[in-house]
Structures are given as structure tokens and as C-alpha cells.
Amino acid sequence: MAAARALLRLLLPPLLLLVLPGPAGAVWPQPQAQHSPPGGGRCPLPPGQFRFAAADGSAVGPGCDVLDSAFQRYRALLFARPTENEPPWGTPCTQLLVYVAMPGCDGFPNLDSKESYKLIVSKGSMLLSAEAIWGVLRGLETFSQLVGRDENGTYYINETEIVDFPRFPHRGLLLDTSRHYLPLRAILETLDVMAYNKFNVFHWHIVDDPSFPYESSTFPELSKKGAFNAMTHVYTASDVRAVIDYARLRGIRVIPEFDTPGHTLSWGPGAPGLLTPCYVVQEPSGTYGPINPILNSTYEFVTSLFQEVSSVFPDFFLHLGGDEVDFTCWRSNPKIQAFMKEMDFGDDYKKLESLYIQRLLEIVSSLGKGYIVWQEVFDNDVVVRPDTIIHVWKENLLTPYKEEMANVTRAGYHALLSAPWYLNRISYGQDWMEAYRVEPLDFRGSPEQKALVIGGEACMWGEYVDVTNLTPRLWPRAGAVAERLWSNSTVRNMDDAYARLSEFRCTLLGRGVQAQPLYVGYCENEFGEV
Ligand SMILES: *[C@@H]1O[C@H](CO)[C@@H](O)[C@H](O)[C@H]1NC(C)=O
Ligand SMILES: *[C@@H]1O[C@H](CO)[C@@H](O)[C@H](O)[C@H]1NC(C)=O
Ligand SMILES: *[C@@H]1O[C@H](CO)[C@@H](O)[C@H](O)[C@H]1NC(C)=O
Ligand SMILES: *[C@@H]1O[C@H](CO)[C@@H](O)[C@H](O)[C@H]1NC(C)=O
Ligand SMILES: *[C@@H]1O[C@H](CO)[C@@H](O)[C@H](O)[C@H]1NC(C)=O
């Protein structure tokens, strides 16, 4: 035993030898302001009597599917464990009144959605008020994390007052369903945990080189020939609809990414003539490169595909990719060489790439959509609309992301940060801390520039991730990004974050999420126990 402990000492950094679970009733991500009266009271929540109800004058009430389904979900989450029938002490809190100022329930959340809320628990009354239904969702999550159980198993909540709102409006998570297919169920479960973390954007990197699982109604051959398995490893129209609806009920936007002109090998078999044939000496080699940018047929194809995508996905924004275009194949192709000469592009294949992206952006604009692109599009001086969002992902010595954030915002574009948040990368120890320490606005720039940063995204690329390890690799590590994007920038204390994140992870286990441990310790209820 002592030997084991000594060995443990050797293996683990002496940092943070906390083994106790964190404080009950701590909220992750931390609210903007919370006031709990010293020596304040608390009230029991008897599951049999407890209900959610619309407050007088609320602009939205029963019949709003977003609220009704949230009440159902949170009732199940709140009272998952067995309890006494009658609370043995105190005047019970029997209802949470919900007040919404702005009418509206039918739409989808968007970049401007109001997520702020206020929660007051005092002397037997509980009120959750919000500008819009999306704020109610965030407030319900907070409420659920405040509820504890006393030593006899009675549910209760402490008196408190919370005023809360997100620091950034775009708080995303990227999942890659091309390198490995993720079953629909895994995506839906991830959306649940995103909502627990107050994430509000699901960036669906749906297709890429390895496979094309999106079933297109316009071009059914794409998935027939490009999916790993056209019967089992595809997202049908009804699957996609299910993801969008499930996300909406949780206040999460779905932004699909159809990355071009690179990252498109899986498109080739189902779209003859779309990809560039590569040559060796003067002969086609039988392999293919990026989308062929010199053919009119390419733009006809792209127009039809994005017409479909624009109508399937309701969000204003599409992610158009534009990263990592390999020029080797374009360079080898005699027709492309001739085109380069004709256009006077010299040997600058970035100009050819720009020509393609330029036309793509015009097509997507004309469909009434906005777009997000990876940083290369900006780096290569492609002319983009002023409201374009540039997604910063590169993190190396030559292209430090802070400098890129400065450059992008100096040029007046909106920026989205992912470079330090590639959570598919793992290392021994508490690597959530590195993600947590990031400060998105820590770059050289004016206040106007900082105001152009709309948020960030945690990325889970799929090379080494499928349904077996997705959940433990994501959670609670992505929670570090969630808090960085939601809470005040001054919320940075590592010991406090460690205690709250450990506790939050225990909450996730209680909700059936296989979240991995941060470090040594235990949860009152381990995974699989009720
Ligand atoms: C309620 O407050 C007490 C006293 O501050 C604290 O010990 C306890 O952990 C709190 N419980 C919850 C669920 O917030
Ligand atoms: C728990 O139950 C015991 C035995 O009935 C009682 O003495 C104790 O006060 C209860 N604790 C609370 C917090 O109600
Ligand atoms: C491509 O389209 C342009 C403009 O519509 C037209 O001028 C050109 O002839 C077309 N090229 C081919 C090869 O069809
Ligand atoms: C930012 O812009 C400067 C000036 O144009 C340039 O020298 C630098 O390489 C850019 N940084 C990045 C990361 O692209
Ligand atoms: C963030 O916290 C600081 C320090 O407590 C405070 O001065 C500031 O007003 C807070 N920011 C917001 C947006 O509430």
C-alpha cells in the first residue's frame, strides 16, 4: 500500500493533491454573478409536489415545445435518485416559476439569441426569468446544478440569487463524422452534454477525405459511393432533421461544414469529373486531387449541392472549410497548367485556389447564407464579404494564433478561435488546464478588434476517435473551453476550477455520461450507480 502510494507520487505531479469532491451546488460554467446570503436558508424540493410553472405575465407559457420538453428533461435529471416520500424538515419549495419577456418559440437559435437569465431562490419561492426561451434553457441547467441532497437523501436547494449571461455568443464544439462514422445516438448524447456545459453551436464536420456519410437528395451517388457503408454509415435526411430538432430543443445551432476544394477525396466516386486528375509525367496517374477549379461543371455542381445544404440546415451560417489545399496535383495537370498561363497566375497556385473560393462564396451568398471559413482563406487574400467569420486553427511557431487573431481582426473580420482547443490531442496529466488557461482576447489589438471575436470552438477531430472513446475524451475536458467562453474572463483560479469541474464531472456521471476523471478522487455516485 505504502509502496503503491510512493509509486503514485513518482508518477504524478505533486500539484493539486485534492481528493475530495468539490463543493455541492457549485455551477459549471461559473455564472457571471452569484450571491448567496451568509447563513441563508434552504428549502427541500419534494419530487412528488415539485413543478415548473409559467409566471404571471410571461410572454411564453405551456405549449412552447422548447420549454415543455426542457421541463420534462430537467425533472428527470433533478430527481434521478430514490428519495424519501415526505421531506422531514422546512417549508418545501414546490414550484419554479418561469418568466419569459419576449414572445417566440417557433424559431431556431441564432448568433444574436438572448441567453441571459436571472434565478432567485428565496424563502420558499423560486423564480427564473429570462429575455427569451434560450435563456430559460441556460437557467434550468444552472438550477439543476444547484439542487443537492442532504444526508437523508432529501432534495434541497440553498437560497441564492444568480444573474447570468454568456461572455461570447458563439460557443461551439466540432465533431468529425468522416474519419470515423459516429452513430446518430452518439451525436444526440453529445448534444445533451453540450447543453449541460452551455455550449450553443454544434459544428458538424460532416464529410471529408475518408468518407461522405451525408445522404444528399440532389446527388445520392455521393454517399452511395463515398460513405464507408452506404446502408449503415450514412446520415439520412431524417437523421439530419433529428439532429437539428434535438439541438434546437437544447438551444444549440447546427452549422454543417462541407469543406472544399481540398478534403474532398470521398466526393470523387459519386461525382465524376469533379476532382482534378493528377498526372505523372504526361499521363493521368489514376489518382485525384482537390476539386477541379477550372471547369464550369464544377460550379454547376457546387451550386446545386449548396442549394440543397442551405435549405436542409436552417442556420444562417454554413462552414465552407477552405483549409489545407494541396497544390501538387493541380501542378501536375496539363490543363490546369494551361489555365494558369491563360490567367497570368504564374506559379502562384494560391491565386487558383482564391479563384475557386471566390466563386464559391458568391454562390453561397446568393443563396442567402453567411459563411465561416478556415483561416487559410484569409491568409491567401481571398476577397470575402465583410461579415465573414474567420476560423483560426493553426497553432505552430510560424503561425502563432495570437498573431493571426490580431491580423484577422485588424482587417475587420469576425474571428472564431480553435487553435488552442484541439481536444482530440491528448497527453498524460491534466491537459484540460492548458485549454482552461487560454484567454481568447489576449492578443495585440484595439478594443474594436477584441469586439470582433465572437467566441470559439473545441474541436474533436476523428482520426483516433469513434463512438468508443468520444465521450471520455470530450468530457469533462471540453468543459474547460465551455467555461472560458461563458464566464467572466476573471474566472481563472485553477484550484477553484479544479474543485468545481471535479464536482461537475460527478454530476455528469450521475446523468449517465462516461466522463473521464480529472485526477485522484471519487464521486459519491460512481458511473453506473443510481
Ligand atoms: C448549501 O449551503 C451549505 C452551507 O453553505 C453548504 O455546505 C452546502 O454544500 C450547500 N449545498 C448546496 C446543494 O448548494
Ligand atoms: C436525517 O435523519 C435523522 C434521523 O431521522 C435525523 O435525526 C436528522 O436530523 C436528519 N437530517 C436532516 C438534515 O434532516
Ligand atoms: C464557361 O462559362 C463561361 C461563362 O458562362 C463561358 O464563357 C465559357 O465558354 C464556358 N466554358 C466552357 C468550356 O464551356
Ligand atoms: C500577420 O500580419 C503580418 C503583417 O502582414 C505578417 O507579417 C504576419 O506573418 C501575419 N501573421 C500570421 C500569423 O499570419
Ligand atoms: C467581470 O468581473 C470583473 C471583476 O469582478 C468585473 O469588474 C466586471 O464587471 C465583470 N464583467 C462583466 C461583464 O460582468
384-388: which pairs have CB atoms within 8 A and are 24 or more residues apart? 384/413, 385/361, 386/412, 386/413, 387/414, 388/361, 388/413, 388/414
- Whether 85 maps to a domain, the answer reads yes
Count of beta carbons in the 10 Å neighbourhood of residue 17: 11
pLDDT band (50, 70, 90) for residue 85: low
Q: Which atom of ligand 4 is nearest to the CA of 404?
A: 13
pLDDT at 14: 41
Q: What is the pLDDT of residues 180-203, one digit of tens each?
A: 999 999 999 999 999 999 999 999
Q: Is the pLDDT of residue 238 over 70?
A: yes
Q: Residue 16's pLDDT is what?
A: 44
Distance CA 497, CA 477 (A): 12
pLDDT value for 397: 81
Residue 2 has pLDDT above 70, yes or no: no
Q: Which atom of ligand 1 is nearest to the CA of 26?
A: 14
The pLDDT tens digits of the residues spanning 87-145 come to: 678 889 999 999 999 999 999 999 999 999 999 999 879 999 999 999 999 999 999 99
Distance 296 CA to ligand 3 centre (A): 6
Sheet holding 148-149, edge to edge: 42-44, 155-158, 148-149
Residue 84 has pLDDT above 80, yes or no: no
Task: Write down the pLDDT at residue 153.
Answer: 87
Percent of the chain with pLDDT over 90: 87
**Residue with CA nearest ligand 2 atom 7:** 152
With respect to residue 454, please indicate whether it lies within any of the assigned structural domains.
no
Whether pLDDT at 240 is above 70: yes
Ligand 1 pocket at CB < 6 A: 23-25, 42, 146, 148, 158
Domain membership of residue 375 (yes or no) is no
pLDDT of residue 525: 85
- The better pLDDT of the pair 25, 479 is held by 479
Give the pLDDT confidence of 396-449 residue by residue, as tens digits: 888 899 999 999 999 999 999 999 999 999 999 999 999 999 999 999 999 999
C-alpha 63 to ligand 1 mean position (Å):
35
Instruction: Tally the C-alpha atoms within 13 A of residue 469's C-alpha that lie toward its C-beta.
Output: 13
Tell me what the mean pLDDT of segment 321-344 comes to: 96
Cβ–ligand 2 distance for 150 under 6 Å, the answer: yes
Domain containing 111: what range? 33-164
Task: Determine what percent of the chain is predicted with pLDDT higher than 70.
Answer: 95
Q: In a mutational test of the pocket of ligand 1, which residue from 27, 35, 42 has the highest number of ligand atoms less than 8 Å from its CB?
A: 42
Cβ < 6 A, ligand 5 pocket: 32, 488, 490
Q: What is the pLDDT of residue 227?
A: 98
Closest ligand 4 atom to residue 400 Cα is 13
**Given a cut of 90, is residue 377 above it in pLDDT?**
yes
271 confidence band (pLDDT: 50, 70, 90): very high
471 lines ligand 4 (CB under 6 A): no
Residue 119 lies in a domain: yes
Decide if 112 is inside a domain. Answer: yes
Q: Tell me the pLDDT of the chain averaged across its residues.
A: 93
Q: Which atom of ligand 2 is nearest to the CA of 150?
A: 13
442-471 confidence digits (pLDDT tens): 999 999 999 999 999 999 999 999 999 999
Q: Does residue 342 form part of some domain? A: no
Q: How many whole angstroms from its chain centre is CA 231?
A: 28
Distances (CA, A) of 62 to 73, 78, 86, 295, 296: 15, 20, 28, 54, 53
Give the residue among 365, 363, 376, 426 at the shortest CA–CA distance from 404: 376
Number of domains in the chain: 1
Integer angstrom CA distances of residue 470 from 139, 174, 461, 465, 528: 27, 12, 10, 6, 18
Is 147 within a domain? Answer: yes
Q: How far is CA 364 from CA 385, 401, 489, 524, in A?
A: 11, 27, 35, 51
Residue 90 beta carbon below 6 angstroms from any ligand 2 atom? no
Using CA atoms, how far apart are residues 208 and 182, in angstroms rounded to an integer?
A: 14
Please identify, by atom number, the ligand 1 atom nearest to the C-alpha of residue 25.
14
User: What pLDDT does 86 receive?
Assistant: 64
167: CA distance to ligand 5 center in Å?
A: 10
Look at residue 1 and tell me whether its pLDDT is greater than 60.
no
Nearest CA to ligand 1 atom 9: 24
Give me ligand 2 centre to Cα 152, in Å. 6
Q: Round to whole Å and give the CA distance between 447 and 441.
A: 10
Closest of 357, 362, 348 to residue 376, by C-alpha: 357
Q: What pLDDT is recorded for position 68?
A: 98
* 419 phi, psi to nearest 5 deg: -45, -45
Q: Whose CA is nearest to atom 8 of ligand 4?
A: 403
Residue 379 alpha carbon to ligand 4 centre in Å: 9
pLDDT of residue 441: 98
- Residue 211, pLDDT > 50, answer yes
Q: What number is the average pLDDT over the span 317-325?
A: 96
pLDDT range class, residue 382, cuts 50, 70, 90? confident
pLDDT tens column, 293-306: 999 999 999 999 99
What is the CATH number for 136? 3.30.379.10
Give the number of other CB atoms < 10 A from CB of residue 15: 13
Query: pLDDT tens for residues 495-521?
Result: 999 999 999 999 999 999 999 999 999
Q: Is the pLDDT of residue 372 over 60?
A: yes
Q: What is the pTM of this model?
A: 0.95
Pick from 165, 485, 488, 491 the residue to mutate for probing ligand 5's pocket: most ligand atoms within 8 Å of its CB: 488
The amino acid at 69: S
Q: Is residue 449 part of a domain?
A: no
